[in-house]
Structure 1
Amino acid sequence: MDNVLSFKRGRLPLLISMPHPGILLTPVVEAGLVEEAKERPDTDWHIPLLYDFAAELGASTLEACYSRYVIDLNRPEDDAPLYASATTGLYPAVLFDGEPLFRAGMQPSAEERARYLEEIWRPYHQTLADELARLKAEFGYALLFDAHSIRSCVPRLFEGLLPDFNLGTNAGASCDPQLSERLLAVCAKAKDYSHVLNGRFKGGHITRHYGQPEQQVHAVQLELAQCTYMEEQLPFDYRQDLAEPTQEVLRDLLEAMLAWGRERYGR
């Protein structure tokens, strides 16, 4: 498959992973989707644009191009559940609201899905693993920031309104606790935004699998409420007036990660 991912190498020991902004569909998936799903409502809309300062900052970026409706890059390849509560799998069968994703009998075949695993999931994770290994070899450590967003109200997945900034570190297992404290301090200073650490979103497969602080690889997931930078309903427009102040907090978070790394490792 073409256009599976977009990768840009930076100059600092930070990789920003964006597994869910993609909107490309395979012909089989597109033919089978229910009408509502064709608008891709569960996409992490505009995430690459929101993090467009990454190159100036010096971070590497990895962006998925295919929709999570084809295959979810933030799920393990064995599709083991990540949460005890409602969620979606490696090959999603329902929308976030619980409605079926595909028309009856129109789901991709097992053979088709095996191709998605080989040609979409594996290249993304190989690129991610390779870049983390390169950063660790060059700097002695690597920082991974897994960037996500979601509608602020999804009753099937969580009660009430989601906090604006949802940091996840796999209950403290994916990064040094001092790094978590540094990021929480940044969020606390952002008085116009709410935040939580390891709330409903503790980190998906990417954070849990690659975050190995004992091996000097520190991973943090951010699930950002979409109301902080866009219209949450069709046509899902990017709101520059909302996005600019949100970007300031995002930049502060990433700069805090880098500063912590320099202090901890001396480079």
Structure 2
Amino acid sequence: MNGSDNGRADSHEAAASPFVLIEPADCGVPILLAAPHGGRSYPDELLGAMRDPRLATMRLEDRHADTLAIEVARQTSAMLIYAKAPRALIDLNRSSEDVDWSMVTGGDKPRVRNSAANRRARSGLGLVPRRLPHSGEIWKSPIERAELDRRIDTVHRPYHRAIAGALAQLRDRWGAALLLDIHSMPPLPGRHPDERGAEFVIGDRFGASCEPMLSSRAIAYFGRRERLVAHNRPYAGGFVLDSHGAPGRDIHAMQIEVCRSSYLDADFAEPSARFASVARTLAGLVREMADAIMEIGGQKGLPIAAE
């Protein structure tokens, strides 16, 4: 699962693995970048099981969020983990219990099927997405329980073990660590008809997943660059932040949503000419957060390079 070779993933291993973890030999920041929803390695059988593969894949993906994370990691020498397995196969930002059991056939099922643990699944976007807003059902038929268990055992659990291990490694080295979970979002409306919506949304589970100072510095960073930013609304973070954010143990987690129109073309399909600018902006954020995390960890701050 771990493809690394002095900061470059082995191409054969990366192609076969559901995710790639890159640990640069010159890692100079106490930050792990993650992109759980950018995976585009679709098995033929998965596409064949979809009612409308083109629509479902485009709607479910955080299109090229992984490409963005890779470029930001290159510019900052940050640790990086990104999914190759698509969200349609399994959602890495959901609990393994967040299952719509009515779409699962065979094997034993929990007695309690409607609980807080699977509330997102009941809306259609659980561990295995079932429905898309305004589009309906994704799959032609239910998923077998054995296949669900296989996806959890071979993709979901190893991914989260890798994140936990990487964060512990960074914390042990620097005294504190930050997970920056990178996602993309559709364009948001402004508060008023003549206003633009936020380009970035910082999520910290309403202060539970990281030191509030980190979110404040992130928001101030975007403000200095005159980039529109929101905090926790409408995206506060999900399972990744709940699982890995532990400020009391000096492990912090923050989600950042990037507006797709900021870095993708008009069809939200491929990177646009604006991609490079957004990558530079996020690289600057990583440097800002690295400085803050090293202050928390008792280390000397990182000089901020000119951008």
The TM-score with structure 1 as length reference comes to 0.88
Tell me the alpha carbon deviations over residues 216-266 of structure 1, each in whole angstroms, 9 at most, x when there is no partner. 0011001111000002526x0210x21122223211211111010122223
In 2, the alpha carbon distance for the partners of 1:95 and 1:233 equals 18
Q: Which residue of 1 aligns with 2:238?
A: 204
Q: Which residue of 1 aligns with 2:61?
A: 43
Relative distance call for 1:70 and 1:161 in structure 2 (3 A) is: farther
In 2, the alpha carbon distance for the partners of 1:232 and 1:210 equals 35
Tell me the alpha carbon deviations over residues 175-220 of structure 1, each in whole angstroms, 9 at most, x when there is no partner. 11111110010111222x3210110110111012111111100110
Counterpart of 1:65 (choices 74, 77, 84) is 84
The one-letter amino acid of 1:7's match is: L
- Please say which structure displays the higher CA radius of gyration: 2
In 1, the alpha carbon distance for the partners of 2:87 and 2:43 equals 11
Relative distance call for 1:87 and 1:263 in structure 2 (3 A) is: farther
Deviation, 1:46, is 1.4
Relative distance call for 1:136 and 1:45 in structure 2 (3 A) is: same
In 2, the alpha carbon distance for the partners of 1:96 and 1:167 equals 24
Q: Which residue of 1 aligns with 2:35?
A: 18
In 2, the alpha carbon distance for the partners of 1:82 and 1:190 equals 37
Q: Which residue of 2 aligns with 1:3?
A: 17
In 2, the alpha carbon distance for the partners of 1:153 and 1:232 equals 15
Moved over 6 A (4+): 82-85
Contact 2:30/2:294 (8 A) holds in 1: no
Deviation, 1:161, is 7.6
**92-101 or 219-228, larger mean C-alpha shift:** 92-101
In 2, the alpha carbon distance for the partners of 1:134 and 1:188 equals 32
* Counterpart mapping for 1:205-244 below 5 A: 205-231=239-265, 233=267, 236-239=269-272, 241-244=273-276
Tell me the alpha carbon deviations over residues 57-112 of structure 1, each in whole angstroms, 9 at most, x when there is no partner. 12100010011001000001111247699561001001254521112xx2321211
The structure showing larger relative contact order (alpha-carbon pairs under 8 Å, at least 6 residues apart) is 1
Q: Which runs of 5+ in 1 are unaligned?
A: 155-159
* Counterpart mapping for 1:81-160 below 5 A: 81=118, 88-103=125-140, 106-152=141-187
Contact 1:168/1:202 (8 A) holds in 2: yes
Q: Which residue of 2 aligns with 1:258?
A: 290
In 1, the alpha carbon distance for the partners of 2:75 and 2:219 equals 24
Contact 2:124/2:132 (8 A) holds in 1: no
Contact 1:22/1:68 (8 A) holds in 2: yes
In 2, the alpha carbon distance for the partners of 1:85 and 1:119 equals 24
SS in 1 for 2:202: strand
Counterpart of 2:51 (choices 34, 46, 49) is 34
SS in 2 for 1:63: strand
In 1, the alpha carbon distance for the partners of 2:57 and 2:204 equals 31
In 1, the alpha carbon distance for the partners of 2:215 and 2:270 equals 32
Q: Which runs of 5+ in 2 are unaligned?
A: 2-15, 99-116, 190-194, 300-307
**38-47 or 246-255, larger mean C-alpha shift:** 38-47
